[in-house]
Amino acid sequence: MCNIEKLTTESINEATRNIDRLESLDIVTLINNEDKKVAEAIEKVLPQIAEAVESIVERFKKGGRIIYCGAGSSGRMGTLDAVELTPTYSVSPTRAFGLLAGGDEAMYTAVEGAEDSEELAVEDLKRVKLTADDCVIGIAASGRTPYTKAALEFGKQTGAFTISVTCNQDSAMAKIADISIAPVVGPEVINGSTRMKAGTAQKMVVNMLSTGAMIRLGKVFRNYMVHVQPTNEKLVKRAVKMIIELTGAKEELALKVLYEADKDVAAAIVMIECSCSKDQAREALLESGGQVREAIAAVKNGV
């Protein structure tokens, strides 16, 4: 068994030894100073993150899925990232999701012992019928959580692409995964409270992985999330604003075409830019894999 005292994330932070004697402003200033170190740690692993993005895109294009696996705060981080891909980029929840040690209940309450079960990880991945086209992203600050480690091992056995996101170098998970992403953020403000700097680092990494993949998959036009699902008044207004800014259309026309396109923002943009029908726009988007720039060029060129 790993000696956790040797893990960077479990070591003592000398800068915060007397934090319990400080006033509130001094406490939050110390926390903020430590948080500044997270972005610097992420910067050192950008090549690995970029490599992982490309691998995710490759598998996703084949019909594979993005599957986050983890326990506790780490597992919740992955699940939250996956959930947001549906409203933001219209990714089906069957194509990107999280597996959390202890199941759905563990999202809201601690499920004792779940993270120590290797068998549970294998059962969870078998239940979702893991394939060689999938990407398994294991998240654990320590890099040694049995549930997450077993998920990566089973992923490798299945032929899935495996990515470990940890905050300790040379971890057990890093040795298993095809790509190891390990921003070393150092000891926590509160000893062992890895929901803090480690959690922030994990959030930044999974955001980069999913956002980078969505951009490479054509879910973004310029820097707009044109595949957003306008499911409420705020999002309809945001969609109209996007259409106006990207096409130069007047608000009345942008709103009208958005509804003609059944609230498909990407299709509405193509319709306005190319003065074409909804069917033409959707066919062009289908042929281009959802990439608005390519769809516009195809319609304009009569392809």
**Type of residue found at 20:** D
Enter the tokens of residue 146.
């049995």
| Beta bridge partners of residue 98, listed in sequence order | 68
Cα–Cα distance for residue pair 198/188, rounded to 1 Å: 8
Q: What are phi and psi of 123, to 5 degrees?
A: -60, -45
Residue 131, exposed/middle/buried by CB under 10 A (0-12, 13-18, 19+)? middle
CB 296 within 8 A of CB 276: no
SS3 248: coil
Which candidate, 116, 77, 90, places its Cα nearest to that of 235?
90
Which candidate, 126, 76, 134, places its Cα nearest to that of 100?
76
**Residue 156 to residues 54, 130, 135, 164, 265, Cα–Cα distance (Å):** 18, 11, 10, 12, 38
Cα–Cα distance for residue pair 132/247, rounded to 1 Å: 41
Report, as residue numbers or ranges, the catalytic residues.
Answer: 84, 115
